[in-house]
Amino acid sequence: MGAWGSGGDRLAAVNGVGCALFAYGTLQFPQMLEVLLGRVPEFTPAAAVGWRAAALPGLLYPGLVPHPGAVAPGVVITGLTPGEWQILDAFEDDDYDLRPIPLQAPPPAPWTYLWTGPVAQDNWDAPTFARTHLASFVEHTREWRTAALNE
């Protein structure tokens, strides 16, 4: 999780309202969106062809990296306000770069957080994460969000 207020430069190209976000990791879980935003925005299943959600060494969350022939499942989140974009951007690690990527289903080029650091050989597995780590990750995120609000 990033430091509150970090990564603000990443949002310069995102206008907020009307910009969709492709989430392939922890943000695809409604529980995470509820904790971070206080609501669950509208989202639809989607996939990024030519990308993979890579496991990251020593981390519970994934990083999206190019990989020919791979498909990264996730969701497209719509209806985010500028303030919600700021919260999500603060939540994301500094090793992410916010860029639009093409998807086969509408919207054609939502924004997503691409990983710029080292990755593991394995793909990140959302069902395994949900079963083994989601509850504690949600609680940790709740603590981060509470601390961020009190800064």
The full DSSP string for 16-77 is STT--EEE-SGGGSHHHHHHHHSS---EEEEEEEEEEEEE-TT-SSEEEEEEEEEEEEEEEE
Domain holding 124, by residue range, is: 8-144
Q: Is residue 13 part of a domain?
A: yes
Q: Is residue 139 part of a domain?
A: yes
Q: Is residue 90 part of a domain?
A: yes
Q: Is residue 3 part of a domain?
A: no
What is the tens place of the pLDDT at every residue in 41-98?
A: 999 999 999 999 999 999 999 999 999 999 999 999 999 998 899 999 999 988 999 9
Give this prediction's pTM: 0.91
What is the tens place of the pLDDT at every residue in 13-37?
A: 776 557 899 999 999 999 999 999 9
Q: Is residue 81 part of a domain?
A: yes
Q: Is residue 151 part of a domain?
A: no
What per-residue confidence (pLDDT) applies to 2? 55
Tell me how many domains the chain contains.
Answer: 1
**CATH classification at residue 138:** 3.10.490.10
